Amino acid sequence: MGVELSKEAKRKVIHIGMGLWMFYPLILSRTPAMMVVLLMLFLALFVFRPHAWTSSFEFMARMEDYSYTYLIGPLVYICAIGICVAFYPLFISAAAIGIMAFGDGFATLIGKRYGKTYSPLNKNKTIEGSISFVVFAFIATTIAMYFTAPLDSIFDVMRLTSIGAITGAIVEMPAFENYRGNNIFQRVVVDDNFFVPILSGLAMYLAYITFF
């Protein structure tokens, strides 16, 4: 159990580390950002496969990865990032990525360690984890969006990131694992890490064009 928790903690550290993508609008426009995403997708599909995994990647693998023959977590992550980068304003896509990285990452780490009140929507997730999701997603994306968003004040930034953080926490609650199919496409898209950035980004985008 301790070994599994340690492996999960390592995976979540990488998960959170991907939150550095929140700052990509400062250095990349949409086209080069999409090129980076496509490169990552190529690596996930054709390079980081079971026959090529080394000790550097084995700790990232779950048991299901061996049956699907893909590192599912990174593949889901990359597909979600690609959709956000392709369809949302850059600063919103960046914030959506940060919500997934920091919100979901800290929700798991704190929920597993300190969570005691289980969600009525998912017996594997806790209210404490969901609160952590909102808090860390809000703080992280507020910092990033302050530098990347064309908004007039920090209060406007906070209004927008609060919408994204709360939406992401709500989307993350259901038990997606109960509705997955058997093929790789169904496995990738029926996942909280796929829907959290896409729907939190959509909520922020609709709020932005409506109220700002």
In the prediction, which pLDDT does 55 show?
58
Q: Return the percent helix, strand and coil in the chain, to nearest 5.
A: 80, 5, 15
pTM here is 0.90
pLDDT score at 74: 86
Integer-rounded Cα Rg, in Å, for the chain is 17
Give residue limits of the domains in the chain.
2-211
CB 138 within 8 A of CB 161: yes
User: DSSP letters of 116-177?
Assistant: -SEETTEEEEEHHHHHHHHHHHHHHHHHHHHHH---S-HHHHHHHHHHHHHHHHHHHSS-GG
- Tens-binned pLDDT, residue by residue, of the chain (212 aa): 344 446 666 666 776 878 888 999 999 999 999 999 999 999 989 887 765 555 556 666 777 877 888 888 889 999 999 999 999 999 999 999 999 999 998 998 899 889 889 888 888 899 999 999 999 999 999 999 999 999 999 999 999 999 999 999 999 999 898 888 788 999 999 999 999 999 999 999 999 999 99
Closest residue by Cα to residue 70 from 42, 97, 98: 42
Angle at 14 between CA 135 and CA 102, to 5 degrees: 10
